[in-house]
Structure formats: C-alpha cells, structure tokens
Structure 1
Amino acid sequence: MVEKRLVITGAVLGGLAVALGAFGAHGLKARVDAEALGWWQTAVQYHMWHALAILALGLSGQTWGRLPSWLFTAGALIFSGTLYAMALGAPRWFGAITPIGGVLMIAGWAVLALLALRRKG
C-alpha cells in the first residue's frame, strides 16, 4: 500500500524544488552575488534529493519509511529554508541554524539504514 502522505509530501517538495531552482536561475542570477547564488543552488540540490527520497519511501509502501521521511522533510525545510532566506537577504546568523537541518537529514539516512538492517527478508 502506498504511503499517500509521503507521496504527497515528496511530490510537493519536488515541485517546489523545481520552481525555486528556476527562480534562482532566472530571477536571482542578476540580483544577488555569487555567494548567495551558491547558497541557493545548494539549497535546491539538497531540497530535491530529499524530496525524491521521501517520494521513493512513500511509493515503497513500507510503513517503516515514515520516520526517515519526516526527518528528511524537517531537515530539508530547515537546511534549505535557511539557505534560501540568506540568499534573499536574511541575516547571516541564519547560517547557524542551517546545520540543524543537515543533522536531521543525516539522522534520516541513519535511521533508514538501521531500519533496513533490522528488516527480515
């Protein structure tokens, strides 16, 4: 059975990553410096990779994929969200929050690996 909420979450995050990537490439390129554009590109990249992971877990139908998916979601929102905000002019101290999102994404991968190892079959 498909985990509908995870598929929806992954699809929404994926669509947002495409839209934000296009905005960065076309709308921000002439308005921000190279450092800010780099932050934007990093945010889009991590945003999309984790959206795809969430989507894959949702489509797998395995209920044990829920916790990693929610860790990926929270991590991507915090990690990418703070980078997007800084690229748009938020204070640089937002960068102190960014690693929290990274830790959540790493935790999601670690939990996923542990749960997969514990699965029989």
Structure 2
Amino acid sequence: MKILLLLGCIVMFLAVALGAFGAHALKKRLSVDMMSIFQTGIQYQIAHGLGLLLLGVLADSLVHSSLIVTAGWVMLVGILLFSGSLYALSISGVKKLGAITPIGGLAFLASWVIVIVAVVQG
C-alpha cells in the first residue's frame, strides 16, 4: 500500500535527520543520560520506520490488507508517542514526558499483534 511506503520513507528520512542533529548539534548540549534517551528514540524510530516499509510491501500481498494498513497507522502512532516523547524528554529535561513513552510502546506491541493476526488470516 503506497501510503505505508510513503510514511515509512518519511519516518526513515526524519530518523536520519534527527540522528545527525543529535550527533552534531546536541552531543555537547545534552548529558550522557539524555543523549542515550535521544538515541533510544532514534533506534525505535528506525526499527519501526523499517516496519512501516515492510507493511507497505505486505499490504499488497495479503488478503487482509486492511489489517496491515491499520497496523501501519497504529505503528505510526507508536513512533510519534514513543520516539517523540523521548526526543522531547531528552531536549527539555521534563521527566513527566516519560509517562507518554509506554503508551507508544503499547502501540508498537498492538501494531505487531495486528500484523500477526493479518498474517495468520492471510
């Protein structure tokens, strides 16, 4: 499905851009702990950006492509909440933002469960 491929490409582009920003602009401004949190956001964004690309390919080959598309949207929400909250936490230092991160993690888990269901039904 084209939308998932497009979203995957955008997410991956942003992961590379944010990773470079972190490595160059933030490295001297953030503590080691905050930089580690920022890098965790990048790692999960890359992993799930690749996941979106995979789902874009799977959507065209499975009978239950609507489930795959749903999984993609849930995965995108996970990226925004999980990685986004880690970026905001690391840059701002506001620890309360960390409360959002597990919601993004649950969205990641839910998206993969939806993929499992689609593959089993496919």
Q: Do they fold alike, i.e. is TM over 0.5?
A: yes
- TM norm structure 1: 0.92
CA distance in 2, matches of 1:96, 1:57: 28
Unaligned runs of 5+ residues in structure 1 are: none
Which residue identity lines up with residue 51 of structure 1 in the other structure? G
Matched residue of 2:102: which SS?
helix
CA distance in 2, matches of 1:106, 1:59: 20
- TM norm structure 2: 0.91
1:13-24 matches, within 5 Å, as 13-24=11-22
Contact 2:68 2:114 in 1 (8 A): no
Q: Does residue 4 of the first structure (1) align with residue 2 of the second (2)?
A: yes
1:1-121 matches, within 5 Å, as 3-60=1-58, 61=60, 62=62, 63=65, 64-119=67-122
Which residue identity lines up with residue 92 of structure 1 in the other structure? K
Contact 2:38 2:86 in 1 (8 A): yes
In the TM superposition, structure 1's runs of 4+ consecutive aligned residues that sit over 2 Å from their partners are none
Q: Percent identity?
A: 38
CA distance in 1, matches of 2:109, 2:12: 19
Unaligned runs of 5+ residues in structure 2 are: none
Q: CA deviation at 1:59?
A: 2.5
User: 1:90-114 CA deviation, whole Å, 9 max, x = no partner?
Assistant: 5110001110000000100111112
Superposition RMSD in Å: 1.1
CA distance in 2, matches of 1:93, 1:74: 19
